[in-house]
Structure 1
């Protein structure tokens, strides 16, 4: 019994860079529906305010392009008639975090035109707008560039075709599940794929334009289709495709 108790206690902590962190929030997707106490659905195509979500994306987000299977949230990209559909959820206004380790375990979809992502936006986006609010792209994968993971930050100083990015090769990234994470402190942000640090962002001069990462951010999970980065072409024959998310965890 003592051994079991010890294991349970240890499971609530993680060690990264020699720092002991406690699990402060977890979404394990073991229910049969999205927990709307924690998550919001983002619906539609971004119009009229931001058609194509600012990237000429082709999907319409719905409440129905997902399911729960074997403890996973499964987001499905589909071609329905002449339209593409998918799902996007965020923790905006419900679960927001400043610093810590933020991670997700996920299995990627494949196919030209697909663009799964696990990312974060500043909680003050409605007041200061993008890119001043800041954006942390913990995972981006695009089907037209297989075996590559993109980790990126957008700031007022560098956004869109930002210089704050890293494209890292993983020959087996499409195989099975992988853990995508950041270690975020007041000094820097380290990006991880599984146990490997793939990119570190640590600007020498930190101002609100170069380092908007000293305030709470919320989490976004989505599977985009097409767009400036993901496409523009989409391989309809590859659809439907599924983005599996096993869990999201935050340690501080």
Structure 2
């Protein structure tokens, strides 16, 4: 089971203040390999009992649920009624036996699974120097809830007493197999004023003192480890009929190093055919020998042999790998990168020139249906739009639609499908727009009940039409089924008392345009011509083919939609796009033909 075995370096009560270094080989300063036949009580202490543990958890913690053997620690959750609790499990900690300030802390773990299952590998302050929880801090190296089997969370807790406590964190999505299928290494690198989170040496989150300000940064004292498997609670919810017991959390080892590990960083989800995407090897110097390997369909544009590589993605997802050889030995790092599908408009949710599958049922502000478009020269040239004047007296002003035009929202939270909206507003650049998918029956209860998922955008222009992707944000209520959505709520600049005016239109759902994007990409020179190129004020597209062009999109080099036009361009006709306010630089022009085929060309906006 172990990749390698290491002798125990320090015995008894251990406290280490560690300074992470770059240019040296890793030094192991503490390790628990679980090589024995019982839990080593020189390193760990059991925590026992029920009572909810501050989170309305359902288990009773018992030493009997901890076993050691075959090189593994196993914490088992069982369905059995003891001490007034319907479940039993176990929780151990290293307080006053292994305490640390700074270092690289890692554990190799295989997860349990199922609704209501909540394992964690985390750290708590040993001395509560700044006061009780959360004033003295909490570092969650890994948290996992069974209803999201492909996602890992890393979080810090801090700030004043509950209910005004604060937290800040990030998450990692495996995209493929869930975390119960095999072991993974979960780690933090903790140093003064900064903590970084890793899954299998991929850096997915960083928190600094600025993420805590103006609250105190309490992460400058000694902390100890906790390993536990909770059942139920406020966050994961209770087990249900689908939950299988017993469930087992398996831990191969826990280790602490004084040295930063070589790690990989860069985007793990990229747009279809995203060009010029940068990935970085951290913690290596210029003496390292580095070999990058891109997955099929992607190409290494530049940087082979260096710590920074540029990848041009195609249509396929896959593993990006880097083999690194240093004076400390060889190491291969790998990260799975998900390429989002090419998308095209699939259905309209709110389009003021046509009938809508949704019914407007409520708004706090003043809504004007079928309002004259204030600027038909932008990306939205349709005659009718919606006008909404936000109610300045409402902190969470909402526009509520009801209906069920989408049978299953799972593809939207998986980024296989997306929502877009056209917006024209006098609100300042950077204004937040939220779009919530809800279930009416559950939403009558307190938040977050009934809020299946939320989608977010920020404006980049003022008094000009722009097409915004409403990017998936989160799932506030995991108990609301993806097939039960019958209400959609639109919020302009939530959590403020602003009273700006918003014109909006073309609230659309986009789906993969093709079953095989690669086969559908055709020679752009035979499909359309761009002029002038470079250009400044107007981009002219001429249809050279024999099929109508249904959609024309101007994309940034990272795949974001800058402008989109759904005006049909017949063969031998032209389309003029106003690009006066577009920033200078290189763009991609992507067209979708009536036969479902696509073509892409580069276009340069001159200074």
Shorter-chain TM-score tier: 0.7 to 0.9
Give the counterpart of 1:107 among 106, 110, 119.
Answer: 110
Deviation of 1:203 after TM superposition, in Å, equals: 2.4
- Residue matched to 1:68: 68
CA distance in 1, matches of 2:219, 2:95: 16
* Deviation digits for residues 83-128 of structure 1 (CA, Å, limit 9, x no counterpart): 2000100001111000000000000000110001000001113872
Please state if 1:169 is matched with 2:173.
Answer: yes
- Residue matched to 2:124: 121
- Residue matched to 1:36: 41
Report matched runs for 1:1-252 at 5 Å. 20-45=25-50, 51-81=51-81, 83-125=86-128, 128-156=131-159, 162-170=166-174, 171-172=176-177, 173-204=179-210, 209-235=215-241, 237-252=243-258
TM-score (norm 2): 0.37
Secondary structure of 1:54's match?
Answer: coil
Deviation of 1:213 after TM superposition, in Å, equals: 0.6
CA distance in 2, matches of 1:98, 1:144: 33
Larger radius of gyration: 2
The structure in which a higher percent of residues are helix is 1
CA distance in 1, matches of 2:170, 2:140: 11
CA distance in 1, matches of 2:66, 2:216: 36
CA contact (8 A) 2:117 2:239 kept: no
CA distance in 2, matches of 1:105, 1:223: 15
CA contact (8 A) 2:78 2:246 kept: yes
Report runs of 4+ in structure 1 exceeding 6 Å deviation.
158-161, 205-208
Change (3 A) 1:196 1:162: farther
- Structure 2 stretches lacking a partner, 5+ long: 10-19, 259-607
* Deviation digits for residues 193-241 of structure 1 (CA, Å, limit 9, x no counterpart): 0021111001238779341111110000000000011213445741101
Deviation of 1:158 after TM superposition, in Å, equals: 9.6
What CA RMSD, in Å, does the superposition of the two structures yield over aligned residues? 2.7
Secondary structure of 1:229's match?
Answer: coil
Deviation of 1:157 after TM superposition, in Å, equals: 5.7
CA distance in 1, matches of 2:22, 2:161: 28
Change (3 A) 1:191 1:60: same
Q: Name the stretch that deviates more: 176-185 or 227-236.
A: 227-236
Deviation of 1:22 after TM superposition, in Å, equals: 1.3
Change (3 A) 1:189 1:143: same
CA distance in 2, matches of 1:97, 1:234: 38
Change (3 A) 1:153 1:77: same
- Residue matched to 2:268: none
Deviation of 1:175 after TM superposition, in Å, equals: 1.8
- Residue matched to 1:3: none
Matched pairs, number:
237
Deviation of 1:61 after TM superposition, in Å, equals: 0.2
Deviation of 1:74 after TM superposition, in Å, equals: 0.6
* Deviation digits for residues 145-186 of structure 1 (CA, Å, limit 9, x no counterpart): 221101100011698885511122113223210000001110
CA contact (8 A) 1:88 1:222 kept: yes
CA distance in 2, matches of 1:208, 1:217: 22
Q: Name the stretch that deviates more: 143-152 or 162-171.
A: 162-171
CA distance in 2, matches of 1:227, 1:213: 26
Change (3 A) 1:100 1:130: same
CA contact (8 A) 1:41 1:90 kept: yes
Change (3 A) 1:17 1:58: farther
Q: Name the stretch that deviates more: 198-207 or 137-146.
A: 198-207
CA distance in 1, matches of 2:253, 2:100: 16
Q: Name the stretch that deviates more: 73-82 or 110-119.
A: 73-82
CA distance in 2, matches of 1:169, 1:158: 31
